């Protein structure tokens, strides 16, 4: 093992720090290393600093990773910890997602003030969300509801809700569990009618692809089933050029040596959608996701994607 501490890059939110700490603790246990063998390096990203505009208007998911990936690429960091659902489908040259911790709950959590469930909200209620997927799914289920942009850390969004800026909001159940905020949840949404974002609930670890030493370090904490499922979902995302400007849902599950996949694309207003299901061998998970993306793209037709620009 190297003498200097392994440097773990992360954003500075409470959730990001919790995920980086969980990764460090797992590495300590896997290799019988002391806490001093790791240094958590907190970086401010452009996505964290700009909170008054939708991500789709200022550059998408990459704004949460640019500064971290720059230091990862030039060797100032050894690895970086992210929420998988926040990762763009295309990463910088030389970097890759090399490990995934075991996936948490994939469901979206509804936090209602004017009603405990999405279906209980009064007509013309206001729901705050920064996710185009969530916005489109809300509009598909409740076209009467007004959806407004809700950005910021979990605590910020909950405060906005208490201040009456919106009647309800949605957050990932996994993130609320990691922060110990499950008591605020008023409904867990059924993934059959409200499917998750690709990668939702999974912590991923990014590293340099030519860094065999770090790959060896991470191997014991990688969860193979989560890894395979995420490769399938991210391949679907990649086939559709998925970003924060695109309402895409995807969920892959692993049973033995088989992978089952569900994918959904919507127009931002939630009025038109196309879904796909596929299954195959786990060893072909990435190819299966890519083929599902190509299939649904072809079925939707070129005009469907005009609204995604």
Q: How confident is the model at residue 113 (pLDDT cuts 50, 70, 90)?
A: very high
Please identify which of the residues 78, 86, 105, 108 carries the catalytic annotation: 86
Which sign does the torsion angle of CA 245, 296, 106, 139 carry? positive
Does 59 score more than 60 pLDDT?
no
Does 260 score more than 80 pLDDT?
yes
Question: 3-class SS at 298?
Answer: helix
**Which pTM does this prediction carry?**
0.91
What percent of the chain is predicted at pLDDT more than 70? Answer: 91
pLDDT at 33: 96
| Residue bearing tokens 């191997």 | 219
Query: Residue 27 burial (CB < 10 Å; 0-12/13-18/19+)?
Result: buried
- Which residue would you say has higher pLDDT here, 51 or 255? 255
- What domains lie within the chain, and their CATH numbers? 1-101+202-222 (3.40.190.10), 108-188 (3.40.190.10), 223-309 (3.30.160.40)
pLDDT at 53: 52
User: Mean of the pLDDT values across residues 82-108?
Assistant: 96
Q: Calculate the average pLDDT of the chain.
A: 92
120 given a catalytic annotation: no
């Amino acid at each position: 093992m190297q003498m200097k501490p392994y440097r773990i890059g992360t954003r500075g939110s409470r959730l990001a720090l919790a995920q980086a700490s969980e990764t460090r603790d797992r590495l300590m246990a896997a290799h019988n290393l002391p806490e001093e063998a790791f240094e958590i390096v907190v970086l401010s990203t452009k996505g964290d600093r700009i909170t008054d505009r939708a991500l789709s208007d200022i550059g998408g998911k990459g704004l949460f990773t640019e500064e971290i990936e720059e230091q990862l690429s030039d060797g100032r960091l050894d690895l970086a910890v992210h929420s998988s659902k926040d990762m763009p489908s295309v990463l910088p040259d030389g970097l890759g997602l090399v490990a995934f911790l075991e996936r948490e709950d994939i469901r979206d959590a509804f936090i209602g003030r004017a009603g405990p469930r999405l279906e209980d909200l009064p007509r013309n209620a206001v729901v705050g969300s920064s996710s185009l997927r969530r916005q489109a799914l809300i509009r598909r289920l409740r076209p009467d509801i007004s959806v407004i942009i809700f950005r910021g850390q979990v605590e910020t969004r909950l405060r906005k809700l208490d201040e009456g800026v919106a009647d309800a909001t949605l957050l990932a159940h996994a993130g609320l569990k990691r922060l110990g905020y499950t008591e605020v949840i008023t409904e867990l949404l059924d993934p059959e009618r409200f499917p998750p974002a690709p990668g939702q609930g999974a912590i991923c670890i990014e590293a340099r692809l030519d860094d065999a030493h770090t790959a060896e370090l991470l191997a014991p904490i990688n969860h193979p089933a989560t890894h395979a499922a995420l490769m399938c979902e991210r391949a679907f995302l990649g086939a559709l050029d998925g970003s924060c400007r695109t309402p895409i849902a995807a969920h892959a599950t692993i049973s033995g040596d088989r992978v089952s996949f569900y994918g959904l694309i919507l127009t931002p207003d939630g009025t038109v959608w196309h879904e796909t299901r596929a299954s195959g061998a786990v060893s072909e998970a990435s190819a299966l996701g890519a083929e599902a993306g190509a299939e649904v793209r072809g079925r939707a037709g070129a005009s469907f994607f005009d609204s995604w620009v």
